[in-house]
């Protein structure tokens, strides 16, 4: 796995972005950027250069699920690995995210170990 890959962290709570950023740094990923909702994140993604998207679901403006759908609908971004990290845990929601093409789904509160496992799994599959 390329530790220099550029990661976009999207969450409306700055504390959660900091937690994820610190966990990623601990895992060796230092190349991270942040956005506070889908409508801020999408133009950043469309500019290009991101290798991985980690997004919350419940955000004002554009929610994470909408962001995921936009990403999958964009020919330049459709292959971008997306990990959803969210407190939303209804079965219907998880199924909707899966159908929309999410690569991993982590429910809050989560541990550093779970985050690492999901990231490892996503990139095993992407590279494999």
Q: Does 70 bind another protein (CB under 8 A)?
A: no
Concatenating the DSSP letter of every residue in 50-78 gives: --EEEE-S--SSS-HHHHHHHHHHSTTTT
How many residues at the interface with another protein, by CB under 8 A?
A: 28
Q: Does 24 bind another protein (CB under 8 A)?
A: no
Q: Does 28 bind another protein (CB under 8 A)?
A: no
User: How far apart are CB 48 and another protein at their closest, in Å?
Assistant: 28
Q: Applying CB under 8 A, which part among 27-35, 47-55, 68-76, 81-89 lies near another protein?
A: 81-89
Identify which of residues 49 and 61 has a Cβ nearer to another protein in the complex.
Answer: 61
According to CB under 8 A, which one of 2, 73, 79, 98 is a site residue for another protein? 98
Q: Does 30 bind another protein (CB under 8 A)?
A: no
Q: Give 66-75 contacts, CB < 8 A, sequence gap 24+.
A: 66/38, 67/10, 67/38, 67/41, 67/42, 68/97, 68/100, 68/101, 68/102, 69/100, 70/38, 70/42, 71/42, 71/45, 72/100, 72/101, 74/45, 74/46
User: How far apart are CB 49 and another protein at their closest, in Å?
Assistant: 25
């Amino acid at each position: 796995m390329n530790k220099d890959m550029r990661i976009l962290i999207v969450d409306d709570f700055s504390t959660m972005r900091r937690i994820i950023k610190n966990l990623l740094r601990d895992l060796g990923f230092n190349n991270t950027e942040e956005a506070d909702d889908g409508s801020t994140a999408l133009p950043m993604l469309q500019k290009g250069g991101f290798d991985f998207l980690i997004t919350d679901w419940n955000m004002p403006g554009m929610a994470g699920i909408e962001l995921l759908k936009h990403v999958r609908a964009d020919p330049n971004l459709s292959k971008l690995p997306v990990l959803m990290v969210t407190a939303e845990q209804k079965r219907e929601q998880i199924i909707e995210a899966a159908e929309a093409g999410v690569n991993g789904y982590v429910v809050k509160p989560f541990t550093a170990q779970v985050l690492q496992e999901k990231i490892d799994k996503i990139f095993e599959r992407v590279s494999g």
